[in-house]
A and B are shown apart, each in its own frame.
Chain A
Amino acid sequence: MSAHFLQTRGLKAHYGDAQALFGIDFEVGEGETIAVIGANGAGKSTFMKSLTGLVKVAPDSVLIEGRPVGGSRPGDIVRQGVALVPEGRRLFPSLSVEENLRMGAYAERSGPWSLERLYGLFPILKEKRKVPGTSLSGGQQQMVAIGRALMSNPRLLLCDEISLGLAPIVIKEIYDALPAIAAEGMGIVVVEQDVMVAQRVSQRLYCFQEGRVSLEGASEGFTREQISQAYFGI
């Protein structure tokens, strides 16, 4: 067993006709929270899609516990314990809150997460379990999207821009739920536009710039100047 649960080595990916990632080396271990920051178009979302099989990449450029999984089907990757909270939440509009959560358990991985436990983490969802997922407020929808990913009992949770379009107080509420999730050994990767939030919630961060890693290391160790240099390349 390798030290890192998930690793990428020289990951290259294309989005449409354009190359979006130019050799990303990345790793995340159990119980670790990693932030990925970067400007729009830096390749963060393509990176998330590459890890989950939505964008096809070379087999040995993504490793789960040392096994090559790059380019596997999304369903095979979720069965190996990697779940994505997609950008824009993308709840199923014709499914109720509870049905959305049950879809998350479709892969039937065993583990600690169940509907009861999830309702304990986000009590409001229990109250609203019968209504269509898309009728909730933005923050509540995000809770459903995170809950849906947790229902697959992942060992690594990928969160793509979960604060997008939400009020600061709601963002704080959602991020405050993460440490309890990570405490049981689940790795978490958050893609985040807000650098302050990213630094606060993570132990390590990667900054992407035009498809390459421009900065990487302990989140607390960086100054503003270092980060804006890595962010914008100026």
Chain B
Amino acid sequence: MTETLIQGLLLGGLYCLFSLGLSLMFGVMRLTNIAQGDFIVAGGFAAICIAPLVGGSPLLAGLVLLPLAFGAGYLLQRGLLNRTLGKDPLPSLVVTFGLSIVIQNLLLEVFSASPRSLESGELSTGSLSLGGDIVVGTLPLLIFVAALAATVGLQLLFARTPLGRAFRAVSDDREVAELMGVRSAHVYALATALATVLIALAGLFQGLRTTVSPADGPLLLLFAFESVIIGGMGSFWGTFVGAMVLGVSQQVGFGFDPGWGVWFGHLVFLAVLVVRPNGLFPKTKG
């Protein structure tokens, strides 16, 4: 029982990283990124390409990948996604849906359909005893700690810093924020840049933990969606808790039958939607 709970929470850590970027982009500009899952997969493949160039160390690969992701996210928002924003949510949905298809096919073309993974060395085999007979893998624990740190970091960034204030102000009333001198195009691009860093980190971990293949994106998007919606739109802690609920539900399902895990997660997601349609910790108005 405890074992299942802990494994579920650790899995939730990965889902939290899948979904924070989605939550961030939606929170700041009401943009739903349909290509979220494919971005994660692309991040994983990018890490797989970078690792041999830096001597195979996943840590070094991450150090190279994350700044690249920041730049790519910034340019993507400035060059493309900013043009889709407006009162109507449809253009951004259509464009990110299109991006999703483009990325899947590009990855398929370049890397073929077979699953690939990132060599992690001792990281994937190492384990830690938490007292008693409970042992957790080093890598899942590292992922969980990263997810927790990312959630706390985002929360502090939004609550305490001038940039966080600008994020919330453009989210509330873009026109008035511009009156104060905020360049919303730039602020949106910074939000996407940050989201893309989290996405790349998620992709790196996914590649280390299991495998990535070009067709994985939609399922990862589904997990991210479920986490965000269980937690309630517009709250990072909500997303964190939503991811934990999803992770534990899937782990419980896996316990009954190896084929039931994902399905069990969907069931719990639907149950939460029925009982609390706005999620557990709704924050977003209007």
Contact = CB atoms under 8 A, between A and B. Distances in A.
A94 B285 CA distance: 10
B91 to A, nearest CB: 21
Categorize the interface residue count of chain A.
20 to 34
B179 A94 contact: no
A106 interface: yes
B30 interface: no
Contacts of A102: 162, 165
A79 to B, nearest CB: 6
Interface in B135-188: 162, 165-166, 168-169, 171-173, 175-183
Contacts of B178: 54, 73-75
Contact of A86 (B176, B182, B285): B176
B285 A99 contact: no
B173 to A, nearest CB: 6
Contact of A92 (B162, B172, B181, B183): B172
A92 B169 contact: yes
Contacts of A152: 180-181
Residue among B162, B169, B171, B179 with most chain A CB within 10 A: B179
B168 A78 contact: no
Interface residues of B, number: 18
A90 B173 contact: yes
Interface string B32-57: 00000000000000000000000000
Contact of A106 (B173, B181, B285): B181
A99 B181 CA distance: 15
A103 interface: yes
Contacts of B172: 92-95
Contact of B179 (A78, A93, A95, A99): A78
Interface string B179-203: 1111100000000000000000000
Contacts of A84: 179
Contacts of B169: 92, 95, 103
A12 interface: no
B183 A75 contact: yes
Nearest to B182: A106
Given A93-B285, A95-B165, A103 B180 contact: yes
A74 B179 contact: yes
B236 to A, nearest CB: 14
Interface of B: 162, 165-166, 168-169, 171-173, 175-183, 285
A-B interface, 8 closest residue pairs, ranked by CB to CB distance from nearest: A107-B181, A75-B181, A92-B172, A74-B178, A106-B180, A106-B181, A74-B179, A90-B176
22 contacts: A52-B179, A54-B179, A73-B183, A74-B175, A74-B178, A75-B179, A78-B180, A78-B181, A86-B179, A90-B173, A92-B176, A92-B177, A93-B172, A94-B168, A95-B172, A99-B165, A102-B165, A103-B166, A103-B177, A103-B180, A106-B181, A152-B180
Given A102-B165, A103-B180, 20 more contacts: A52-B179, A54-B178, A73-B178, A74-B175, A78-B181, A83-B179, A84-B179, A86-B179, A90-B173, A92-B177, A93-B172, A99-B165, A99-B168, A103-B177, A106-B162, A106-B180, A106-B181, A107-B180, A108-B181, A148-B180
